Structure 1
């Protein structure tokens, strides 16, 4: 069972639409556009929370005092610096994550969005998402965030059982969650997503499935199902290690996931990614950029990015990480304009590994055309067409390689970790034995000799 850490039978069949027999979504379903080389997504990290949840090891902090004006100024400054470094023609989507960004003021959100619009092009249709916790998302604030430019909300409901919420260390109740969901659907109709966790200690399959069914009767058009991962350094990890809580049952978690997928498919949801389900084309276009290997800019303490720093004369995509601790990050932004702590140029093989690992998380997988955008000399057929590993996975009904490209079947998505490990090894082997370097067209359009990145 592939877990998420920062990872159905459509009712359309009843409307006379044909189904992809392997994935269960309508043929011809609208797909988000493939990320372009001149566009990018932008992620903004708000690092503060009211309290740390018992399962969370994300980069978040509980402030004794908070100077939001200083944080806002630094977010604006770093956004400007990194946008000028990347020089995108436009920003396709913006995602405010955390932490708990719904604790920030709408004015802070508006300031960042205004900066993006002034520095590059932010289309009116661009998806702008805010993560929200029910306890920090009163009706008036949701409306104020909409006025600031937010047009999509992602609510961390996590459970519809108060005892489970207490186990997770959440600050909201089931009543809080359902009230926020109702209000969010009023303010953001068709653009409200909810998260539900499974695989908790002592959690039983049937009660969890009843939670999912209840949520289905109340939710909008996007649901994310996340399996609990016990992370070292969290309270839940310690409690399980000490024996005060039982270890999560992997068999029960696998059963929850499989039945949950089937329930959502029956309800008309398309599983467009391992943990994400949408109907009425309500896919997250921001996350789709990640899974399609698109470029994205990370702003804020601990944010990650993947982009080519063209404004700095760069030609290779870099993996970037901003300074983790907020006070240190703000000092660096004030001094240098940004708080980038680490930057590593990705080799061609490393980039292809990311394209493979992320693309296979989706139901469409990796098309031949998409792969050739990253590697024009070594096709999917060259890498996987004659591999015994691939033939075996195909015979097991877990993988498909055909005229459309490479993708997991419905069954394969449920065991992606196993499938992916074998494919990554095959990619590495094919790369080591590839033909001699040839002229390659770079992102800038100039022909250059491909360098050996081994």
Structure 2
């Protein structure tokens, strides 16, 4: 599964993949605001970016899913492939990216695409920009479309990392989630994946299901750890409007999990994973033996990324058309409309908006604090050479109070959450963003305690976009952990 969608700045930014939507100029239109110097992406900045590729089709819609995915009788894969290839070339040239740091195929269910489509996209990328040998290339796969020949075909096409949407190893829970695979099929798929992608297999698990107990969750996680100990993404179930599962819970047919129980489940999982040697490197993500997701780290570190495919999101400087400022972009959601736009103009960018330096810092803060490394002084300096981390968060105010209470740390390394602060990140962010706003533009800001709500270009909860990779997570535990969502994009 993938992430999708961004929330307002004062709330948790939830998106693992380039997801979201929001106001922006029409394709080809002038930016909504004048070009401001691009924070952290000046002329000397390396022209690199991560690439997210969205495959929007699934065989069925799961009961909890509101992502940008489509269930259709038949897919014209040749036409979709041609459009993915063309849009990738167009946007890479537009960005003038010289080197691609990672590629993530999300969805939807990209394991339903043929290995030939994956190979064609990678060949197109390598034809426009440098794609170094060994670059992380991840593909999301459902157990029901992860046979040995198929996964071997993906490996031959250039995929070297697999993210398997296991979600649960309990058949009753899988039926509740509307998954089409069984627990036995999930186990078989992960075993095959680990044989083909040793040390580079990730599994997704969802907790907080209606009626699920902490004991059942712990037993399921223990079973999962016996199956895969490379990388695990944990997502708290998020009830989304318009989904079958939400209707059942809100209608009283299924119980609503208590918040205290959800917090206990998250802490139980963290304790078990850390004891097993996993690094808790992001709110929802755990890795052993250095198996961190390079692609997702690019989102959390506010690096450039390009989104290709229906509903994909991106963050890059369009240097190819003379741009100097980072833009937030979202591609047209509906596949047929997207294909028509790609065929007529080379890309299907539906909305774009220039991000102000302040908005870029807000994203850097909200995403960077999701990681155990936090916002480093070096990274902050790239985006804010004049206003230091110390000047914003070292002075008396909300941040200082959070440090004194043991939720936050500001030291020579930068700004980061403590372990207990990480679990409550969404509750801490509004105060931190408020303090940033006041320090950035004191005369224009409201009085203390009434910070303006900043409109981000990706407030619309669109699924599938993606930043890609394991989901960044929505607001789960106290707003910090979430089911993926997929990661922008699954």
Structure 1 residues 297-330: Cα deviation after superposition (integer angstroms, max 9, x where no partner): 0000000000000001111100000000000000
Alpha-carbon distance in structure 1 between the residues aligned to 2:58 and 2:360: 33
CA drift at 1:3: 8.4
Q: Is 1:393 the equivalent of 2:402?
A: yes
Structure 1 residues 69-117: Cα deviation after superposition (integer angstroms, max 9, x where no partner): 0000000000010000001110000000000000000000000000000
Alpha-carbon distance in structure 2 between the residues aligned to 1:216 and 1:4: 29
Partner of 1:105: 114
Q: Is 1:163 the equivalent of 2:172?
A: yes
CA drift at 1:240: 1.3
Alpha-carbon distance in structure 1 between the residues aligned to 2:260 and 2:177: 21
Cα-Cα RMSD: 1.4
Alpha-carbon distance in structure 1 between the residues aligned to 2:388 and 2:371: 19
State TM-score, norm by structure 2. 0.81
Structure 1 residues 109-159: Cα deviation after superposition (integer angstroms, max 9, x where no partner): 000000000111000121000000000010110000000000000000001
Partner of 2:145: 136
Alpha-carbon distance in structure 2 between the residues aligned to 1:263 and 1:396: 26
Q: Is 1:327 the equivalent of 2:332?
A: no
Query: Does structure 2 retain, via aligned residues, the 8 Å contact 1:359–1:366?
Result: yes
Rg comparison, structure with higher value = 1
Q: Is 1:68 the equivalent of 2:63?
A: no
Query: Does structure 1 retain, via aligned residues, the 8 Å contact 2:163–2:203?
Result: yes
Residue number among 341, 348, 364 corresponding to 2:350 in the alignment: 341
Structure 1 residues 175-223: Cα deviation after superposition (integer angstroms, max 9, x where no partner): 0000000000000000000011011111100110011111111103100
CA drift at 1:249: 2.1
Query: Does structure 2 retain, via aligned residues, the 8 Å contact 1:3–1:229?
Result: no
Residue number among 393, 405, 408 corresponding to 2:417 in the alignment: 408
Partner of 1:295: 304
- Residue ranges of structure 1 left out of the alignment (5+ in a row): 8-35, 436-454
1:353-364 equivalence runs, <5 A: 353-364=362-373
Alpha-carbon distance in structure 2 between the residues aligned to 1:159 and 1:270: 21
Residue number among 441, 462, 483 corresponding to 1:432 in the alignment: 441
Structure 1 residues 2-35: Cα deviation after superposition (integer angstroms, max 9, x where no partner): 989546xxxxxxxxxxxxxxxxxxxxxxxxxxxx
Aligned length: 406
Q: Secondary structure at the match of 1:353?
A: helix
Query: Does structure 1 retain, via aligned residues, the 8 Å contact 2:119–2:157?
Result: yes
Alpha-carbon distance in structure 2 between the residues aligned to 1:343 and 1:303: 12
Residue number among 178, 195, 203 corresponding to 1:194 in the alignment: 203
Q: Is 1:59 the equivalent of 2:72?
A: no
Residue number among 318, 321, 337 corresponding to 1:309 in the alignment: 318
Deviates more, 1:246-255 or 1:200-209: 246-255
Residue number among 244, 250, 254 corresponding to 1:245 in the alignment: 254
Partner of 1:255: 264
Partner of 2:226: 217
Alpha-carbon distance in structure 1 between the residues aligned to 2:408 and 2:13: 20
Structure 1 residues 256-278: Cα deviation after superposition (integer angstroms, max 9, x where no partner): 10110011000000000000000
Residue number among 377, 386, 398 corresponding to 2:386 in the alignment: 377
Structure 1 residues 319-375: Cα deviation after superposition (integer angstroms, max 9, x where no partner): 000000000000000000000000010011100000000000000001111100001
State TM-score, norm by structure 1. 0.88
Alpha-carbon distance in structure 1 between the residues aligned to 2:98 and 2:301: 18
* Cα distance, 1:4–1:426 mapped onto 2, change above 3 Å: closer
Query: Does structure 1 retain, via aligned residues, the 8 Å contact 2:397–2:435?
Result: no
Residue number among 402, 413, 429 corresponding to 1:420 in the alignment: 429
Query: Does structure 2 retain, via aligned residues, the 8 Å contact 1:78–1:339?
Result: yes
Q: Secondary structure at the match of 1:214?
A: helix
Query: Does structure 2 retain, via aligned residues, the 8 Å contact 1:321–1:343?
Result: yes
Query: Does structure 1 retain, via aligned residues, the 8 Å contact 2:13–2:366?
Result: no
CA drift at 1:391: 1.9
Deviates more, 1:312-321 or 1:234-243: 234-243
CA drift at 1:237: 1.1
CA drift at 1:248: 2.3
CA drift at 1:434: 8.6
Q: Secondary structure at the match of 2:166?
A: strand
Query: Does structure 1 retain, via aligned residues, the 8 Å contact 2:283–2:423?
Result: yes
1:255-274 equivalence runs, <5 A: 255-274=264-283
Query: Does structure 2 retain, via aligned residues, the 8 Å contact 1:185–1:220?
Result: no
